Structure 1
Amino acid sequence: MRRRIAVPVLMLLMGGMPGMLAAMMEHGTLELPSGRLALLREGSGPVIVLLPSLGRGQEDFDDLAPRLAAAGFRVLRPEPRGIGGSAPLPPGATLHDMAADVAAAIEAEGGGPAIVVGHAAGNWVARVLSHDRPDLVRAVALLAAVTGTEVDPEIRRSITASFTLTLSDEERLSHLRRAYFAPGNDASVWLPGWHPEVSMAQRAAAAATKDKAWLRAAERHPLLYVAAAEDAIAAPPSLEDLQATLGPRVTRVVVERAGHALVPEQPAAVAEALVSFARGVP
């Protein structure tokens, strides 16, 4: 199954009141054996967990989360290790440790099961969690996730430059536009929010994860792949390729006028895709 979403969308889900919804956000912490985990909560209803991309924090979902809450969901946002009050990842950590943090957040809300949404590199943790704790996962959604294609070397250079905070804003902005944003979209919203040390720790955790069984683990759950039509890092794969990579239970949505950043570019279209998917999951 494949759907293509045009950009006009979700005022009915928002009710035009994102500021009021944001004011109802709860800030909390979990004290875990691996250290403190900061956690944002809002809304009520079935649980959706949001996981941001490499070296970025939960602020990336500040527009998306209230839309999901307004649609009748309980939105959990565990802050990645090393960001926003969460203790850093310890040396030797793997993706399984990162997934254990998400499991702890879901269990703190009553045990789920939850729909787990991973943006870009956040898809690693979502898929590992579905492997390690299938009892806590109702479904999985991947946003602009790389599923095996090679990335152009020039785009890789721009990804590295995005984390190089010593560069001028003008230079970094040119790299953000090249790697992450569709033409005409405002890339300046991503000038802040980069955490180089966190990204290095997350890459090290991915490299330390030697097992590969989790790569197809999400096929045991319903899975949604939300692609960005103008993604320079992860061009929209065909449904056939996705089914070969992720299993037969995957569906696909393509969001127009969006690049790899996707969520800050088209939060309404992403929310529409997630809400439609979530409401169709048993």
Structure 2
Amino acid sequence: MTTDVPGRIKTVANGEARIAYAVCGSEEPSAVTLCLVASTGRGPEDFAHLAAHLAEAGLRVVLPWPRGTGGSTGALDGIDFHDLAADAGAALQAEAGPGGAVIVGHAYGCWIARTLAQDRPDLVDGIVLLAAGGGKWAPELSRAIEVAMDPEAPEADRLAALQLGFFAEGHDPRPWLSGWSGELVRAQRAARAATDRDSWWPSGRAPILDVVGLQDPFRPADGREFYLHEFAPRVELVAVDGASHALPDEKPAEVAAIMVPWIRALRAGTPD
């Protein structure tokens, strides 16, 4: 599944932080620009196949590395969602043209995407949520993250944790044994605790595409319409069968096939 990040590597400043990112796809000024924000403790490598599909569809795709990974630098202590959102926003703004800009989050990255939409409504024309968690989830899922990312844990335990929390039956979790940053996870969790919920929860005013795997334990059936209830009529919900929390890496072609027409309709001004 996961492979190297496609595209040209660039850097952009966000205050004292320097954010490294890859950019691939259309170089036409009129192309829609997407910025993909990765999940807890992970980087844009998880988007490699999805990014390739999106680029092939004529979109420009920006893939930033979180602070402390992949050449990105910046404080990891004393930060909040708004700092992390500004990192993504700097990369998105550096590449966006008149074709419009869409922020895309995966799992934890959905919170950062929504924060950017709240902070920069002038920049964000649309929000795509991939495997966004609902209002609550089982405690064992948070524990699964701890085990999955622990290089000292037995490999069998890590694979079982990945299968439980991230991958649907029939998908190999082994590539996700690597790619974790414990330091980043700690900073991201502290950032969540430090952020006033009211400062980001409204998520701006842009339309929202909510794509969820039917086998995602972080979004069980009784919470599937969570964002519809929170943000209707801004939200379009689409479910993907055979996918769990690692949705964009499990089903990249299917996710792209959902995103591309929505983005084209967004540009035409037709999404609700």
Q: Is 2:45 aligned against 1:59?
A: yes
Task: Measure, in 2, the Cα distance between the counterparts of 1:225 and 1:208.
Answer: 26
1:134 aligns with 2:116: no
Q: Is the partner of 2:237 in helix, strand or coil?
A: strand
Whether 1:265 and 2:250 are equivalent positions in the alignment is yes
- Structure 2 counterpart of 1:194: 180
Q: Which amino acid aligns with 1:107?
A: Q
Q: In 2, are the aligned partners of 1:180 and 1:260 still within 8 Å (CA)?
A: yes
Aligned-pair RMSD on alpha carbons? 1.7
Output the CA distance in 1 between the equivalents of 2:232 and 2:200: 12
- What do the CA deviations read for 1:192-249 (whole angstroms, capped 9, x no partner)? 111111011011111111241421224x11100001010112225344x322223321
One-letter amino acid matched to 2:230:
T
Structure 1, 35-44 or 86-95: larger mean CA deviation? 86-95
**For 1:95-244, what aligned pairs fall within 5 Å after superposition?**
95-110=81-96, 113-149=100-136, 151-218=137-204, 220-236=205-221, 237-239=223-225, 241-244=226-229
Say if 1:119 and 1:145, in contact at 8 Å, map to a contact too: yes
Instruction: Tell me which of 20, 33, 36 is aligned to 2:15.
Output: 33
Matched to 1:249, the amino acid is R
Q: Does 1:79 align with 2:61?
A: no
Q: How far 1:31 sits from its partner (Å)?
A: 3.3
Is the Cα–Cα contact under 8 Å of residues 111 and 136 in structure 1 kept in the other structure? no
Cα–Cα, structure 1 residues 54 and 238, in superposed 2: closer, same or farther, change >3 Å? closer
Task: Indicate yes or no: 2:198 matched with 1:248.
Answer: no
CA offset at residue 279 of structure 1? Answer: 1.0
Instruction: Indicate conservation of the 8 Å contact 2:32/2:96, yes or no.
Output: no
Match status 1:42 vs 2:24: yes
Shift of the 232–133 alpha-carbon distance from structure 1 to 2, 3 Å rule, reads same
The answer (yes or no) to whether the contact 1:94–1:208 under 8 Å persists in 2 is yes
Aligned residues: 258
1:49–1:117 contact (8 Å) kept in structure 2:
yes
The alpha-carbon distance between structure 1 residues 101 and 76, as it changes in their structure 2 partners (threshold 3 A), is same
Q: Which amino acid in the other structure matches residue 37 of structure 1?
A: I
Q: Which runs of 5+ in 2 are unaligned?
A: none
Q: Which runs of 5+ in 1 are unaligned?
A: 1-18
